[in-house]
C-alpha cells in the first residue's frame, strides 16, 4: 500500500505539480462548459429580463416584467398543467410496465437475451422513428390500431387518436411509456439479479406465497433503485420535447402543449425571445426541485460508500 503515498503526495511540491496537471487535463472540458453551457445559462436569465423580437433581435429592458406576465398567463399555467399530467401519466405507466417486464425477464424463459434486446430497442431508436411508426399505427383511415379495434368490436367507427382530446394526451402518454419503459427494465433487472436467492428460499420455507414474497422481499430490495429511476425519469419526462412536438405539435388547441413546447413556440413561432427565455427559466426553476432532490440523494449515497 506504499503506492497510495504517491497520490497523497509525499511533498507539497509534487502534489502541487500534480494539481496543475490535473487542471490542465480538465481545462478543455471547462472551456467547452463555459462556452456552451454556463454562458448560455447566464445569458438565458439575462434575456428573460428583456422583450426581444426574434427576427430583428431588437430588445427592450423590462426587468421582472416578463415574470409578472407569467403569473397571469393562462398559456403558461395550461402548459405547466399539461406537463404535470404528461409526466405523472407516462411515468406511472413506465414504472408499472417496467417493473412487471423486469420481473418476467428475470424468470427462465426461452431466448431470454433475444426477448431482452427486443424490449430495449424502443429506448434506443430515434424519437423521429418512433413517432413516424406510431403515426402510421394511429392513422385514422388505414392505421392498424383502428382496424384491429374495429375488428374486435371495441370501437364502432375509426377513432382520431391524435387530433382530439382526451385521446391526444392519452396517446402521447402511452407512446412515452412505450419509448421509455425499457430504462426502468434495465435498471430493475440489474438490481433483481443481485437479490440473494437465500432470501426467497427462507421465505418459501416460512410459507410465503409469490405475492407476499414480492411485497416482503423484492419490493424493499428495489426501493433504492426505484427512487433513483423515478427521480431521473421525472426530470427527463418533464423536459421532453421531441416526442410530444412531433406527435401532436402541442395540439389540439394547445391541449398537449407542455412547457418545452411553449418555450419553442414563443421563441420561434411567436418570435418573442425574451418571453420565451422567461418561460424557460421558470421551467428550470420548477425542475430544480427534482434536480436538487436527486443531487442530495447522490451526495448521501457517496457519503455512505
Partner 1 sequence: MNKPSRLRIVCINVVTWTIVLLVSFPLIWMLLTAVKPQSELFRIPPTFLPQRITFEHYARLLSDTPFLTYFGNSIVLATATTILVIAVGTLGAYSLVRFRYRGREQLATLVLFTYLLPSVVLIIPLYLLMVKLGIANTLFSLVLAYTTFSLPYALWLLRSFMAEIPEDLESAALVDGASRLGAFWDVIVPQALPGIISTALFTFILAWNEYLYALVLVNSDSSRPLTTGVMNMLITSFNIEWSLLMAASVMMSIPLIVIFAFLQSYLTSGFGVGGVKG
Smallest separation, CB 139 to partner 1 (Å):
8
Which is nearer to partner 1, 159 or 291 (by Cβ)? Answer: 291
Which is nearer to partner 1, 183 or 216 (by Cβ)? Answer: 183
Smallest separation, CB 217 to partner 1 (Å):
19
- Site residues for partner 1, window 197-216 (CB under 8 A)? none
The verdict on 289 binding partner 1 (CB under 8 A) reads no
- How big is the site for partner 1, counted in residues (CB under 8 A)? 93
Smallest separation, CB 43 to partner 1 (Å):
4
- Site residues for partner 1, window 22-81 (CB under 8 A)? 22-23, 25-26, 28-30, 32-33, 35-37, 39-41, 43-44, 47, 57
- Site residues for partner 1, window 14-33 (CB under 8 A)? 15, 18-19, 21-23, 25-26, 28-30, 32-33
Which residues, in sequence order, are CB contacts of 300 under 8 Å at separation 6+? Answer: none
- Site residues for partner 1, window 216-275 (CB under 8 A)? 225, 228-229, 232, 235, 238-239, 241-242, 246, 259-260, 263-264, 267-268, 273
- Alpha-carbon distances, residue 29 vs 25, 32, 36, 38, 296 (angstroms): 8, 5, 11, 12, 24
- Specify the stretch interacting with partner 1 by CB under 8 A; choose among 63-71, 73-81, 86-94, 179-187: 179-187
Smallest separation, CB 196 to partner 1 (Å):
18
Which is nearer to partner 1, 133 or 165 (by Cβ)? Answer: 133
Smallest separation, CB 26 to partner 1 (Å):
4
Smallest separation, CB 117 to partner 1 (Å):
6
- Specify the stretch interacting with partner 1 by CB under 8 A; choose among 11-19, 64-72, 84-92, 213-221: 11-19
Smallest separation, CB 216 to partner 1 (Å):
20
- Site residues for partner 1, window 86-145 (CB under 8 A)? 101, 104-105, 107-110, 115, 117-122, 124-130, 132-134, 136-137, 139, 142, 144
Sole binder of partner 1 in the list 70, 99, 186, 244 (CB under 8 A):
186
222 alpha-carbon distance from chain centroid: 20
Q: How many CB atoms lie within 10 A of CB 162?
A: 20
Query: How would you write the chain as a 3-class SS string?
Result: CCCHHHHHCCCHHHHHHHHHHHHHHHHHHHHHHHHHHHHHHHHHHHHCCEEEECCCCEEEECCCHHHHHHHHCHHHHHHHHHHHHHHHHHHHHHHHHHHHHHHHHCCCCCCHHHHHHHHHHHHHCCHHHHHHHHHHHHCCCCCHHHHHHHHHCCCCCCCCCCCCCCHHHHHHHHHHHHHHHHHHHHHHHHHHCCCCHHHHHHHHHCCCCHHHHHHHHHHHHHHHHHHHHHHHHHHHHHCCCHHHHHHCCCCCCCCCCCHHHHHHHHHHHCCEHHHHHHHHHHHHHHHHHHHHHHHHHHHHHHHHC
Amino acid at each position: 500500500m506504499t503506492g497510495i503515498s504517491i497520490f497523497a503526495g509525499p511533498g507539497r511540491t509534487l502534489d502541487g505539480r500534480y494539481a496543475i496537471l490535473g487542471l490542465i487535463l480538465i481545462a478543455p472540458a471547462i472551456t467547452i462548459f463555459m462556452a456552451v453551457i454556463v454562458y448560455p445559462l447566464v445569458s438565458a436569465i439575462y434575456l428573460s429580463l428583456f422583450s426581444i423580437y426574434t427576427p430583428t433581435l431588437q430588445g427592450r429592458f423590462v426587468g421582472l416584467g416578463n415574470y409578472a406576465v407569467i403569473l397571469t398567463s393562462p398559456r403558461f399555467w395550461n402548459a405547466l398543467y399539461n406537463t404535470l399530467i404528461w409526466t405523472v401519466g407516462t411515468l406511472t405507466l413506465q414504472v408499472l410496465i417496467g417493473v412487471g417486464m423486469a420481473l418476467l425477464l428475470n424468470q427462465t424463459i426461452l431466448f431470454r437475451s433475444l426477448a431482452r434486446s427486443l424490449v430495449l430497442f424502443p429506448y434506443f431508436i430515434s424519437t423521429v422513428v418512433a413517432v413516424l411508426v406510431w403515426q402510421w399505427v394511429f392513422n385514422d383511415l388505414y392505421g392498424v390500431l383502428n382496424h384491429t379495434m374495429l375488428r374486435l368490436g371495441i370501437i364502432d367507427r375509426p377513432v382520431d387518436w391524435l387530433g382530439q382530446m382526451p385521446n391526444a394526451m392519452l396517446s402521447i402518454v402511452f407512446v412515452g411509456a412505450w419509448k421509455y419503459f425499457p430504462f426502468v427494465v434495465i435498471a430493475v433487472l440489474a438490481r433483481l439479479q443481485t437479490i440473494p436467492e437465500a432470501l426467497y428460499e427462507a421465505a418459501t420455507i416460512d410459507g410465503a406465497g409469490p405475492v407476499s414474497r414480492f411485497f416482503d422481499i423484492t419490493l424493499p430490495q428495489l426501493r433504492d433503485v426505484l427512487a433513483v429511476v423515478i427521480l431521473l425519469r421525472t426530470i427527463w419526462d418533464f423536459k421532453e420535447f421531441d416526442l410530444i412536438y412531433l406527435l401532436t405539435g402541442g395540439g389540439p388547441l394547445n391541449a398537449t402543449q407542455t412547457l418545452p413546447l411553449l418555450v419553442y413556440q414563443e421563441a420561434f413561432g411567436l418570435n418573442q425571445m425574451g418571453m420565451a427565455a422567461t418561460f424557460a427559466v421558470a421551467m428550470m426553476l420548477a425542475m430544480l426541485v427534482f434536480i436538487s432532490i436527486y443531487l442530495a440523494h447522490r451526495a448521501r449515497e457517496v457519503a455512505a460508500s
